[in-house]
Amino acid sequence: MSLRRFCPAILFLFFLLPNSAFGKSNDPEDFVDIKRVDRTIAVDLRYAGSNNVAHQPLYPPGTPALVRANVAQRLVIAQEYLKKKGYGLKIWDAYRPQATQEKLWQVTHNRSYVSDPKEGRGSMHIRGAAVDATLVDAAGRDVPMPTDFDSFTPAALLEYKGRDPIVRENLKLLQKAMAHAGFYGLRTEWWHFTAPDWNQYPPVPDLKFESSSRAQSRDPVARRKFFFGVLRLRSASLRMAGTVV
């Protein structure tokens, strides 16, 4: 094929690609990769390593930080707010599968921090409507906060009771940024933030994903979604299930 014919073909494929391939989506219920929406947002998924309450990886290697498209746009708003003040977001957790929630419940059995996956509304993480986040400076370095992630102690309360003025100001800035974007917090975990429209998103117990540089399906729609190594997302089940905050 000549270059003259090849270029228009590439442009044609480009316009066929779904917006979600680039971290954007016209459907607010789509799941998107936070890093594809805003690369300036730092991501350190604690459940992908051993630095968490379970002391072991609960996510497979390469797990992306996924949230609903509308939630991602709220994070962009919070990030812009923080960047103007010389800070930024770091995401510790985003979408969380039901299986991981069940493992966390087995480890903690403490409803003040981890809800029983078989009771109540279930986790906002399973809906893709919540994130666990902290603050970093302009260089991406962690700044002093009340506690580390998964510190299920009174020191992790949303309302800081300590005496360190720097920690107090850092937490206040994070809370202002997230509130500016419409998020609200959780009384027992200063790092947890939920989107106000969480009830619009049903729980997704098992969201399948994989990274690939080529299509692995004969479905032409799936091929477009894999083009340029995008994430293929599909819900194995959209049934209503127990959820947690």
What's 47's domain CATH number?
3.30.1380.10
Closest CA to 46 of 138, 150, 141, 124: 150
Q: Which residue has tokens 């594809």?
A: 36
pLDDT band, very low/low/confident/very high, at 210 (cuts 50, 70, 90)? low
Q: pTM for the whole thing?
A: 0.75
E-strand ranges in the chain read: 31-33, 42-43, 66-68, 87-93, 130-137, 184-186, 189-194, 207-211, 231-235
Position 108 in a domain = yes
- Of residues 52 and 8, the one with the higher pLDDT is 52
* Residue 7 confidence (pLDDT) above 70: no
Position 84 in a domain = yes
The pLDDT value recorded for residue 25 is 55
* Residue 99 confidence (pLDDT) above 50: yes
Position 27 in a domain = yes
Position 71 in a domain = yes
The pLDDT value recorded for residue 15 is 34
Average pLDDT over residues 16-41: 72
Distance in angstroms (rounded) separating the CA atoms of residues 166 and 171: 9
pLDDT band, very low/low/confident/very high, at 106 (cuts 50, 70, 90)? confident
Total number of domains in the chain = 1
The separation between the first and the last C-alpha atoms of the chain, rounded to the nearest angstrom, is 55
Position 241 in a domain = no
- CA-atom Rg of the chain in angstroms: 19
Q: How far is CA 44 from the centre of its chain?
A: 10
The pLDDT value recorded for residue 169 is 98
Distance in angstroms (rounded) separating the CA atoms of residues 195 and 198: 6
* Residue 108 confidence (pLDDT) above 50: yes
Q: Which residue has tokens 């102690």?
A: 153
DSSP states of 47-67:
GGSS-STTSS--S-TT---EE
Average pLDDT over residues 51-73: 93
* Domain carrying residue 161: 3-235
Distance in angstroms (rounded) separating the CA atoms of residues 158 and 46: 20
Position 245 in a domain = no
pLDDT band, very low/low/confident/very high, at 225 (cuts 50, 70, 90)? very low
Position 111 in a domain = yes
Position 244 in a domain = no
